């Protein structure tokens, strides 16, 4: 057990050296580390929300809005299909989860049902064997047809909305240039957002909470907006208001010429004539084609740029816009123009997000946590070091060398992974310090027993390492299982603790058994002791 092949020695030394090299950047500033040659690791530990301050927001996806949008879309699809099939109808309404329509000619009911059947899509895949559909369709002999959203379909759509919202929120926050945000799902319809280091939580809340559904729609000139306010607007149009103070009403057609989904880029800038902040945008090929056709057909008419049911501006089409690009102006501040460009680049949320919990952690509290964590780690480490030297003498020094290498490896691995260090993570490191020497205690006590039984020094050392291995592996594997369970069932800080603990377990086995044994083997080779100084 005391013999090491040359390649094993080289591998152990290389791993230890790599851990030290990966730890070094944490003792320098980020700018200094990034200026180093590319072959030198320069990633640093990222401090979590509880260590450097920042914003914590828990958002709820508006599931009612998801259902309402699906029902409204279903109603519009029913209208379009019945018109295309030249089937007369009346009483087309959307209510709750249902869309109802009555066919004027009862003889056409079967034809209408057949045509509308295509709106009911099967859920799952062919291989899943599921027969559930997202829409259940029923009809009566009197010609009334009801399309009802199924519970399975609603659940699937809500899941899709939550996953899509997480991705869009992540893109929006990444555009802010923040470091290592935590964005994860909680429960059926909630999203947890933690952004360390962000000192403007109100801006964060406004940025991730805005739906950002952009559309380009024609202004309805069939009647003045004031008349529509006092009467009833046309069924194909709706009243929307501008962002001015006081708001100006506009009668806007519901039909969308081009939507924000066709945008490929948006950037803040300044108008060359007025020097006011603007947002320039560019469509993809299909969006540019539709926009060109719409502007060619409506020269001289105003069209509205609508964001979240508010009219940003309503310019008049002076000439066809064929280039697939344009600009949005609306008396923006520079920060507002930048945020709008971020929203448009990241895409629209499928449903509104409502903040239901909000916390702001100040950097002072984080600094106190870091200081307290450092003190705890130093006290724990020094106490363990002193204990090992007092109890085991020279072999305690060997164990302490392995312990310091162990801590270095933990920090180095966390740095290479770009992991976020939280207060529970510091607790995991402190716990690793205590666990690290546990394996050495088992080995040294076994060596003492072997030496008392009359074995020689080398035989006692060899037997101590060999017999303690099984106990060391059992103890650490059971702890590793607990860490894995914590990681998969926990969230946030609990996961941070589990990751640190799991890494600490692996490095502990490596340093306490292999590194420590290599040090002892070299000491035996050099001194050839007649007894073990334990």
| Domain covering 213-324, topology | Gyrase A; domain 2 (3.30.1360)
Question: Residue 309 above 90 pLDDT?
Answer: no
Confidence tier at 406 by pLDDT (50, 70, 90): very high
Alpha-helical (H) ranges within 35-62 are 49-52
Question: Residue 127 above 70 pLDDT?
Answer: no
Stretch(es) of the chain classified as CATH 3.30.1360.200: 213-324
From 208-212, 367-371, 475-479, the region with the lowest mean pLDDT: 367-371
Question: Residue 367 above 70 pLDDT?
Answer: no
Q: What is the pLDDT of residue 430?
A: 82
Q: Which residue has the tokens 């920060």?
A: 335
Question: Residue 479 above 60 pLDDT?
Answer: yes
Q: What is the mean pLDDT of the chain?
A: 84
- Rounded to whole angstroms, how far apart are CA atoms 534 and 400? 14
| Domain covering 6-51+364-527, topology | Multidrug efflux transporter AcrB transmembrane fold (1.20.1640)
Contacts of 182 (CB under 8 A, 6+ apart): 48, 49, 192, 193, 194, 195, 420, 492
Q: N- to C-terminal Cα distance for the chain? A: 19
Question: Residue 129 above 60 pLDDT?
Answer: no
Question: pTM for the complete prediction?
Answer: 0.61
Classify residue 65 by burial, with Cβ atoms within 10 Å: 0-12, 13-18, 19+: middle
Confidence tier at 491 by pLDDT (50, 70, 90): low
Question: Residue 126 above 80 pLDDT?
Answer: no
The 10s digit of each residue's pLDDT in 34-54 is 778 877 787 888 777 777 777
Rounded average pLDDT over 8-34: 87
Rounded average pLDDT over 458-471: 87
Q: What is the pLDDT of residue 131?
A: 60
Stretch(es) of the chain classified as CATH 1.20.1640.10: 6-51+364-527
Classify residue 337 by burial, with Cβ atoms within 10 Å: 0-12, 13-18, 19+: buried
Q: How many CB atoms lie under 10 A from the CB of residue 96?
A: 10
Question: Residue 307 above 80 pLDDT?
Answer: yes
Percent of the chain beyond pLDDT 90?
16
The 10s digit of each residue's pLDDT in 224-269 is 888 888 878 888 888 998 877 788 899 999 888 888 778 878 888 8
Contact status, residue 293 vs residue 274, Cβ threshold 8 Å: no
| Domain covering 63-155, topology | Gyrase A; domain 2 (3.30.1360)
Q: How many CB atoms lie under 10 A from the CB of residue 358?
A: 15
């Amino acid at each position: 057990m005391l013999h090491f092949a040359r390649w094993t020695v080289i591998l152990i030394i290389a791993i230890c050296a790599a851990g030290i090299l990966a730890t070094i950047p944490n003792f320098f500033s980020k700018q200094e580390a990034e200026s180093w040659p590319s072959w030198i690791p320069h990633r640093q530990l990222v401090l979590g929300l509880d260590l450097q301050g920042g914003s914590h927001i828990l958002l709820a996806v508006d599931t009612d809005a998801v259902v309402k949008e699906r029902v409204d879309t279903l109603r519009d699809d029913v209208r379009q299909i019945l018109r295309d099939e030249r089937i007369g109808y009346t009483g087309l309404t959307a209510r709750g989860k249902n869309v109802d329509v009555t066919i004027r000619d009862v003889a056409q009911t079967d034809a209408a049902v057949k045509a509308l059947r295509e709106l009911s899509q099967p859920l799952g895949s062919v291989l899943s064997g599921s027969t559930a559909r997202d829409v259940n369709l029923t009809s009566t002999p009197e010609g009334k047809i009801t399309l009802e959203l199924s519970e399975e379909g609603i659940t699937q759509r809500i899941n899709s909305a939550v996953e899509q919202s997480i991705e869009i929120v992540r893109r929006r926050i990444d555009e802010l240039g923040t470091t290592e945000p935590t964005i994860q799902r909680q429960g059926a319809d909630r999203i947890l957002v933690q952004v360390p280091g962000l000192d403007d939580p109100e801006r964060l809340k406004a940025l991730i909470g805005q739906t950002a559904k952009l559309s380009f729609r024609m202004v309805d000139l069939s009647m003045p907006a004031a008349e529509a306010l006092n009467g009833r607007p046309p069924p194909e149009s709706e009243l929307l208001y501008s962002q001015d103070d006081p708001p100006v009403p506009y009668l806007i057609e519901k039909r969308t010429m081009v939507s924000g989904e066709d945008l490929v880029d948006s950037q803040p800038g300044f108008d060359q004539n007025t020097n006011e902040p603007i947002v320039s945008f560019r469509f993809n090929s299909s969006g540019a084609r539709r926009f060109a056709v719409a502007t060619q057909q409506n020269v001289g008419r105003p069209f509205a740029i609508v964001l979240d049911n508010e009219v940003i501006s309503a310019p008049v089409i002076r000439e066809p816009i064929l280039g697939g690009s344009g600009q949005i102006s609306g008396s923006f501040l520079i920060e507002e123009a930048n945020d709008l460009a971020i929203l448009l680049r990241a895409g629209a949320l499928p449903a509104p997000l409502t903040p239901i919990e909000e916390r702001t952690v100040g950097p002072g509290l984080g600094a106190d946590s870091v200081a307290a964590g450092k003190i705890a780690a130093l006290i724990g480490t020094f106490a363990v070091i002193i204990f090992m030297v007092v109890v085991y003498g020279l072999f305690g020094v060997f164990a302490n060398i392995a312990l310091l290498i162990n801590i270095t490896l933990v920090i180095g691995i966390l740095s290479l992974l770009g992991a976020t260090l939280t207060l529970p993570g510091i607790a995991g490191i402190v716990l690793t310090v205590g666990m690290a020497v546990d394996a050495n205690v088992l080995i040294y006590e076994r060596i003492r027993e072997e030496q008392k039984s009359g074995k020689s020094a080398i035989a006692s050392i060899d037997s101590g390492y060999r017999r303690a291995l099984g106990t060391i592996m059992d103890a650490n594997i059971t702890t590793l299982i607990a860490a894995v369970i914590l990681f998969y069932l926990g969230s946030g800080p609990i996961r941070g603790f589990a990751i640190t603990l799991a890494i600490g377990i692996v490095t502990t086995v490596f340093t306490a058994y292999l590194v420590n044994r290599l040090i002892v083997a070299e000491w035996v080779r050099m001194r050839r002791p007649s007894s073990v100084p334990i």
